[in-house]
Structure 1
């Protein structure tokens, strides 16, 4: 490992929230279009893609997962040995992200939260977002549905994750309001598309269709 890479890994953590892509437990909203097995395959593909893009940044990558890392299911994915692992806390999504972020900030100067839902969240986009934390308190890449696909910061406040109705179109807007109330500077990027519902499948990379997932999408 080079000195530069080692410094980057000690400075920044990409905190990836994920649950195991099990049938009937992951991406269930896609089942009307893909079926039970197809939705699980999509969840798996999205997770592996997100991990690959995060690892390729050169920053430390921590998977915050459900079920716990000790569950045998994770061994089936043959993931990179460089990954750090943690278990998602109990509670709603906000509390789980808050606790994971607080723990990560005890070890890193910058933390970037991402999920495993956005195929267009690439290595380059993550790296560009992290760079903004050198000059700004926070960085966000919104999701087209009103949430966010990336949230980065150098310190954390409970208000960013409390009293928010998750998985609704107001999440990013409320989060930005909370940042403004804290007088934190924010770099905001253009929105990207999550893959959550059948209508989102048109935003998949063309290379994912048919050949890897046996999925056909009507673009009309």
Structure 2
């Protein structure tokens, strides 16, 4: 695979439409079968653009198993499967292979931006004649197209799947000396609002795949999204027995919860099967709790997001308590720390100390943090770190919204204290917190936190 040096290469990052995979916010609203139908129609709009593209086209499917499927999508298409890791890591890997094959002007698009036209693509390619990079912003803060004539700078640590991506991506390129062209904003389809707006935004587009998409959306209808709809996000890593117990508890709340998203750091088939059994959305990413939480929040469809550790035991009335506090004007909050198991005086003493710390400072993730989606986005989301990922988020939420201390306990697993000793574990946790406050990187501290890490808090 060798490219002519003057060619503009269109690279399509896509996932094979599969029932239960992708478009999770839409699936939470319309059901998985409808989400699959939408994914197929959106892919058709992208292929419509690719057929009209005069230069080389490369398809980068999400899995190496889908290479044959990708080759059958278009005649003469070239296929490079995506690697593991977040989108930044995967994009950099594909970019490197294409440049080794002689590619210079590379334009990257996804498969969910039906407003892109041939004119947009040609304008972007033209911009790369005298600029190092080009972007078409998305109205949600991301990008619908990104292109460059040079290898991308480090992308893995950028805030993918958040409203901060577009700005962070442009800033990173500027820091590395890239000249930049930013074209007119477009939109992609990820949320209820995107779906509701699409018929009007595409009403004058006569391209056949766009016409079919608009007809499907109109016929499917877009239901209202209740302002108190709750999405639960659960990061997990090798802790399936605890996760199963939590999902059974959530099943008992079924009428009160709109969506459950499990983000697996191990890419485990057993975890995926457990999610199917309990009708949860399954996502997978690298084993970093901050990245797992960020991904889950980005895919959540509810107006309120509730973050639970896999080994937690929330009260059955928790969703109603969350709704009551949101309706009372709070933008977020947390529950009281309570150890699971038999009550003991030393447990109660430690609970009092932890709950005092939470009121005076930062409640940690094992206390069932929740917040409105808008507040989460404004606060910047979780840090993409394996430990203390919630500190900056909670700090910003406290500054921006009323933050509730819910008068109900959430069960926290005592297994680390029981294993390490109650006093020793408590001192160790405080030492980690002080080290973090003094600037020690979470990536260093996590190695001291637990050699057999799971998702429970401490």
Cross-structure match for 1:36: 32
Would you say 1:121 and 2:116 are equivalent positions?
yes
Aligned positions of 1:143-182 closer than 5 A: 143-159=138-154, 161-182=155-176
Aligned positions of 1:84-95 closer than 5 A: 84-95=78-89
Greater shift, 127-136 or 47-56, is seen at 47-56
- Is the Cα contact below 8 Å between 2:67 and 2:81 reproduced in 1? no
Structure 1: state its 5+ residue gaps: 1-5
Would you say 1:209 and 2:214 are equivalent positions?
yes
- Is the Cα contact below 8 Å between 1:16 and 1:62 reproduced in 2? yes
- Is the Cα contact below 8 Å between 2:153 and 2:172 reproduced in 1? no
Query: Alpha carbons of 1:213 and 1:28: their partners in 2 closer, same or farther (altered >3 Å)?
Result: farther
Task: Give the CA deviation at 1:58.
Answer: 0.9
Distance in 2 (CA, whole Å) between partners of 1:111 and 1:153 is 6
Task: Give the CA deviation at 1:19.
Answer: 0.6
Task: Give the CA deviation at 1:69.
Answer: 5.5
Match of 2:192 among 187, 192, 198: 198
Cross-structure match for 2:182: 188
Cross-structure match for 2:51: 55
Cross-structure match for 1:112: 107
Task: Give the CA deviation at 1:55.
Answer: 2.8
Cross-structure match for 1:24: 20
Q: Which has the higher contact order (CA 8 A, sep 6+)?
A: 1
Greater shift, 31-40 or 194-203, is seen at 31-40
Match of 2:125 among 125, 130, 133: 130
Query: Alpha carbons of 1:21 and 1:56: their partners in 2 closer, same or farther (altered >3 Å)?
Result: same
Structure 2: state its 5+ residue gaps: 204-210, 225-458
Distance in 2 (CA, whole Å) between partners of 1:177 and 1:183 is 10
Task: Give the CA deviation at 1:36.
Answer: 1.0
Distance in 2 (CA, whole Å) between partners of 1:155 and 1:128 is 18
Figure out how many residues of one structure are paired with residues of the other and give that number.
210
- Is the Cα contact below 8 Å between 1:42 and 1:213 reproduced in 2? no
Would you say 1:14 and 2:27 are equivalent positions?
no
SS in 2 for 1:87: coil
- Is the Cα contact below 8 Å between 1:209 and 1:216 reproduced in 2? no
Cross-structure match for 2:291: none
Larger radius of gyration: 2
TM-score by length of 1: 0.86
Task: Give the CA deviation at 1:172.
Answer: 0.7
Task: Give the CA deviation at 1:214.
Answer: 3.8
Cross-structure match for 1:3: none
Task: Give the CA deviation at 1:183.
Answer: 2.0
Task: Give the CA deviation at 1:217.
Answer: 4.0
- Is the Cα contact below 8 Å between 1:62 and 1:85 reproduced in 2? yes
TM-score by length of 2: 0.43
Distance in 2 (CA, whole Å) between partners of 1:22 and 1:70 is 11
CA deviation vs aligned residue, 1:58-113 (integer Å, no higher than 9, x gap): 111111002225566x27x9522121111111111110000101111222121111
Distance in 2 (CA, whole Å) between partners of 1:65 and 1:166 is 18
- Is the Cα contact below 8 Å between 1:13 and 1:104 reproduced in 2? no
Match of 1:46 among 32, 42, 46: 42
Cross-structure match for 1:141: 136
Structure with greater proportional helix content: 2
Cross-structure match for 1:101: 95
